[in-house]
C-alpha cells in the first residue's frame, strides 16, 4: 500500500490524502480533506473554481462558516481535534471524501453525500468523520461545509437578498461531485443524499428543486423533511431579517438594497452575533431554487421522484423542552400545558389558520394526547414532547411518505434505544437529530467520550447494514415499502429490528384530521394578512431566551 493515497485529475493536477486503519472493522480507509468546490462573496451565488495546478495536499480539514462556538458546542459536542475557532472564515466552501482503500479499477462505488444539520445556523461537515460509515457500507462518503445563518438563509421581499445561498452552495458541491467523483472510484450515477435534522429538510429540498435534478438518485432523511413547517415565504424571512437588524443597530427601511449595504459593511463577528440570537431559519420559496410550496410540487409531480428512506427517533424532548423558557424546561399543570400548546400551534404548523381553527386544534390535541389518568407535571411534559415531536417531525414524515409512495419506493423506520448523549429524564430515548452518532459509527470510535453499550452498537450495525443495501440498489430485500394500505415501518430496537404494519395509525389519523381541517379553513390567512411582527416577537421571546435547534 502506498504511504499516501493520491488521485490524478490531469497531467498537471492531482491530490494527495491520508489513510486510517479502522480497528472495529479491521480495514483501511483513505481520506481527502479540505477540497475547495466553489467560491462565493457575501450574499452572492457560488461560482465554480478551476482545478489547481500541481499536487494539492488534502490531509487536513479547512475552513468552515463563522458561527457561535457556544451554539456549535452545545448542539454537537464536537471533538476539539475537528473544530478550531481559527478555521472559521467566509471562504468556507470545502468538502471531504472518504473511500475504502482498496478500490478496484473499473468498479464504481456508490456515493453517499451527507448534509449536516444544526437548525440552519450551526454545524459543519468537518464534525462528521466519514471513515467508519465508508468502512461499514463500502461506499464513498462525502460531506461539505456551506453557508449558514444570515449568510446562508436570509432574504428580502424584493429579492435583492435572494436567500437559500446555503442550498445553492450545496448544488455547487453536488455539481463538483458529479464532475470529479469518478476519479476517486465513485459512481456519479449512484449518488444518495443523506441528511439529519435540518440536513434532512435540505435533502428533501433538493428533491423539490430543478437546480439539483439529476445530481442524485436516492435520499435518506432522519428527523426532518421539507413538509415540516420550515419552508417560509419571502415575507416571513424579510420581516425576520428587518426585525433582528433593527435590534442590532440598523435604522434604515425595509428596502433590500439598503439592508444589504448595511450587512455588507458589518464585520463577520456582528453577523455571527445576529445569527446566534436570531430565531430558526429555513428554506425560502424564492422562485429560483424553490419555485412553489413542496406540497404543490409533489402533487404536480414537478420534483425528483427517487427512492426514499425516512427515519425518526424520540423527536419531541430536545425541541419542546427549549420552548419552556420561563420554567426551566418544566410544565406546571394543565393551564401551563394548554397555554404552551396554544403557542406552538399558532407559531408553527397552524400559523396561517384562523383563531377558530387553532382553538379547535388545541382542544383536540388536549383531548387526544393530554394526560389521561395521572396528571403530574411530568405527565404533561411527556404529552407535550410527544405532541411537539408529532407536529414538527413525525406527522410531516408520515405525510411525505403518503404523498411520495405512489411515485417511488418509500422505506420508513423508527429507532428506539436508550438516550446517552442528551441531558434528559430517564424516559427519554435517543433524541431528535442524534442519528449521526449511530450511522457514522461513533459507537465504535476509539476516542468517543460516551460509554456506548452493546445495544447501541447493535443499532449502529443494523442501520449501516440497511443503508448499504439502499445505497447500492435503491431497495431493501426483506423490508416492505410503505403503502397507504399497509403503512409498513421497520422498528429498530436492540437486539433486533422488526417490520410492523399500520404505523402509529390511531395517532396519525388525528393529525390527518387536523391537517385537513387547516387546509379547508375558509378564513385561512395569507402571509400578507398575518401579523408577522407579532409572530416574530413571540418566537423571539422563545429563541432569544434559550436557543432552539431544529
pLDDT tens, position by position, 323-345: 665 555 567 778 888 888 888 88
pLDDT at 229: 62
Compute CA distances 463 → 137, 219, 400, 438, 497, whole Å.
10, 15, 21, 8, 9
Q: In whole angstroms, what is the distance from residue 510 CA to residue 400 CA?
A: 16
> How much is the average pLDDT of 304-333?
78
Q: What angle do CA 68, 74, 78 make, to 5 degrees?
A: 90
Position 546 pLDDT exceeds 60: no
Torsion sign, CA atoms 151, 157, 159, 163: positive
Decide if domain 321-519 falls under CATH 2.60.40.1730: no
pLDDT at 531: 58
pLDDT at 495: 65
- Identify which of 57-71, 181-195, 232-246, 392-406 has the greatest average pLDDT: 181-195
Position 66 pLDDT exceeds 60: yes
pLDDT at 545: 43
pLDDT at 504: 75
Task: Using the structure block, give the residue that is written with the C-alpha cell 405532541.
Answer: 387
Q: Compute the chain's Rg from CA coordinates.
A: 23
- Identify which of 110-119, 222-231, 354-363, 389-398 has the greatest average pLDDT: 110-119
Write the CB contacts of 430 (distance below 8 Å, at least 6 apart in sequence).
313, 314, 415, 417, 418, 419, 420, 421, 437, 438
46 torsion bin: left (phi>0), alpha (psi -120 to 50), beta (else): beta
Question: pLDDT band at residue 547, thresholds of 50, 70 and 90?
Answer: very low
Lowest mean pLDDT among 29-38, 311-320, 433-442: 311-320
Question: pLDDT band at residue 419, thresholds of 50, 70 and 90?
Answer: confident
pLDDT at 193: 99
Higher pLDDT, 488 or 54: 54
Write the CB contacts of 370 (distance below 8 Å, at least 6 apart in sequence).
334, 337, 380, 383
In order, the DSSP letters of 412-462 are EEEEE-B--SS---TT-BSBTT-THHHHTTGGG-TT-SS---HHHHHHHHH
Higher pLDDT, 414 or 152: 152
Other beta carbons less than 10 A from residue 246's beta carbon? 11
Distance of CA 544 to the CA centre of its chain: 21
Q: In whole angstroms, what is the distance from residue 451 CA to residue 442 CA?
A: 10
C-alpha cell at 99: 473511500
pLDDT at 402: 94
Q: In whole angstroms, what is the distance from residue 286 CA to residue 62 CA?
A: 30
Question: pLDDT band at residue 280, thresholds of 50, 70 and 90?
Answer: low
The chain-wide mean pLDDT, for the chain, equals 87
Task: Using the structure block, give the residue that is written with the C-alpha cell 395517532.
Answer: 507
Question: pLDDT band at residue 65, thresholds of 50, 70 and 90?
Answer: very high
pTM attached to this predicted model:
0.93
C-alpha cell at 368: 387526544
Question: pLDDT band at residue 430, thresholds of 50, 70 and 90?
Answer: confident
Q: What is the 3-state secondary structure (H, E, C) of 132-165?
A: HHHHHHCCEEEEECCCCHHHHHCECCCCCCECCH
Q: In whole angstroms, what is the distance from residue 373 CA to residue 379 CA?
A: 9
Q: In whole angstroms, what is the distance from residue 258 CA to residue 361 CA?
A: 41
pLDDT tens, position by position, 109-157: 999 999 999 989 999 999 999 999 999 999 999 999 999 999 999 999 9
C-alpha cell at 339: 397555554
> How much is the average pLDDT of 3-31?
93
Write the CB contacts of 322 (distance below 8 Å, at least 6 apart in sequence).
329, 542, 546, 547, 548, 549
Percent of the chain with pLDDT over 70: 89
Position 56 pLDDT exceeds 90: yes
Alpha carbons within 13 A on the beta-carbon side of 13: 9
pLDDT at 549: 40
pLDDT at 548: 39
Position 529 pLDDT exceeds 60: no
| Residue ranges covered by each domain of the chain | 6-277, 321-519
Do 6-277 and 321-519 come out as alike in CATH topology?
Answer: yes
Domain 6-277: top CATH class: alpha beta
Lowest mean pLDDT among 72-81, 214-223, 520-529: 520-529
Amino acid at each position: 500500500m502506498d504511504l499516501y493515497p493520491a488521485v490524478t485529475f490531469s497531467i498537471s493536477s492531482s491530490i494527495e490524502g491520508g489513510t486510517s486503519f479502522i480497528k472495529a472493522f479491521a480495514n483501511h480507509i483513505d481520506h481527502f480533506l479540505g477540497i475547495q468546490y466553489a467560491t462565493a462573496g457575501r450574499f452572492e451565488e457560488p461560482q465554480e473554481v478551476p482545478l489547481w495546478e500541481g499536487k494539492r495536499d488534502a490531509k487536513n480539514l479547512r475552513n468552515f462558516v463563522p458561527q457561535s462556538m457556544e451554539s456549535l458546542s452545545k448542539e454537537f459536542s464536537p471533538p476539539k481535534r475537528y473544530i478550531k475557532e481559527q478555521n472559521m472564515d467566509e471562504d468556507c466552501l470545502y468538502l471531504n471524501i472518504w473511500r475504502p482503500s482498496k478500490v478496484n479499477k473499473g468498479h464504481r462505488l456508490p456515493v453517499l453525500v451527507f448534509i449536516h444539520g444544526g437548525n440552519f445556523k450551526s454545524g459543519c461537515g468537518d464534525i462528521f468523520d466519514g471513515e467508519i460509515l465508508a468502512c461499514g457500507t463500502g461506499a464513498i462518503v462525502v460531506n461539505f461545509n456551506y453557508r449558514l445563518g444570515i449568510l446562508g438563509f436570509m432574504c428580502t421581499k424584493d429579492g435583492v437578498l435572494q436567500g437559500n445561498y446555503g442550498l445553492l452552495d450545496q448544488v455547487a458541491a453536488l455539481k463538483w461531485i458529479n464532475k470529479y467523483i469518478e476519479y476517486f472510484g465513485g459512481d456519479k450515477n449512484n449518488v444518495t443524499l443523506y441528511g439529519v435534522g435540518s440536513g434532512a429538510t435540505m435533502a428533501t429540498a433538493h428533491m423539490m428543486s430543478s437546480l439539483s435534478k439529476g445530481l442524485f438518485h436516492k435520499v435518506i432523511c432522519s428527523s426532518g423533511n421539507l413538509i415540516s413547517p420550515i419552508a417560509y415565504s419571502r415575507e416571513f424571512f424579510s420581516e425576520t431579517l428587518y426585525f433582528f437588524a433593527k435590534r442590532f443597530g440598523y435604522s434604515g427601511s425595509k428596502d433590500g438594497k439598503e439592508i444589504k449595504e448595511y450587512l455588507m459593511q458589518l464585520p463577520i463577528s456582528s453577523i455571527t452575533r445576529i445569527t446566534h440570537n436570531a430565531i430558526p431559519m429555513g428554506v425560502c420559496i424564492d422562485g429560483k431554487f424553490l419555485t412553489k410550496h413542496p406540497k404543490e410540487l409533489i402533487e404536480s409531480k414537478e420534483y425528483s421522484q427517487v427512492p426514499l428512506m425516512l427515519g425518526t427517533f424520540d423527536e419531541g424532548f430536545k425541541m419542546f423542552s427549549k420552548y419552556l423558557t420561563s420554567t426551566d424546561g418544566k410544565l406546571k399543570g394543565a393551564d401551563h400545558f394548554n397555554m404552551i400548546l396554544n403557542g406552538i400551534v399558532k407559531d408553527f404548523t397552524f400559523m396561517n389558520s384562523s383563531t377558530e381553527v387553532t382553538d379547535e386544534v388545541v382542544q383536540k390535541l388536549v383531548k387526544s394526547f393530554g394526560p389521561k389518568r395521572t396528571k403530574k407535571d411530568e405527565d404533561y411534559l411527556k404529552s407535550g414532547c410527544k405532541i411537539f415531536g408529532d407536529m414538527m417531525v413525525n406527522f410531516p414524515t408520515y405525510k411525505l411518505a403518503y404523498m411520495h409512495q405512489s411515485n417511488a419506493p418509500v422505506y420508513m423506520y423508527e429507532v428506539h434505544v436508550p438516550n446517552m448523549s442528551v441531558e434528559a429524564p430517564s424516559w427519554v430515548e435517543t433524541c431528535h437529530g442524534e442519528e449521526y452518532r449511530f450511522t457514522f459509527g461513533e459507537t465504535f470510535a476509539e476516542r468517543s467520550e460516551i460509554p456506548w453499550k452493546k445495544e447501541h452498537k447493535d443499532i449502529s450495525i443494523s442501520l449501516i447494514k440497511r443503508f448499504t443495501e439502499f445505497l447500492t440498489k435503491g431497495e431493501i430485500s426483506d423490508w416492505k415499502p410503505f403503502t397507504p394500505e399497509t403503512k409498513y415501518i421497520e422498528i429498530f430496537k436492540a437486539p433486533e429490528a422488526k417490520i410492523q404494519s399500520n404505523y402509529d395509525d390511531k395517532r396519525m389519523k388525528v393529525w390527518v384530521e387536523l391537517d385537513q381541517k387547516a387546509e379547508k379553513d375558509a378564513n385561512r390567512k395569507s402571509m400578507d394578512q398575518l401579523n408577522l411582527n407579532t409572530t416574530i416577537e413571540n418566537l423571539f421571546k422563545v429563541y432569544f431566551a434559550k436557543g432552539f435547534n431544529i
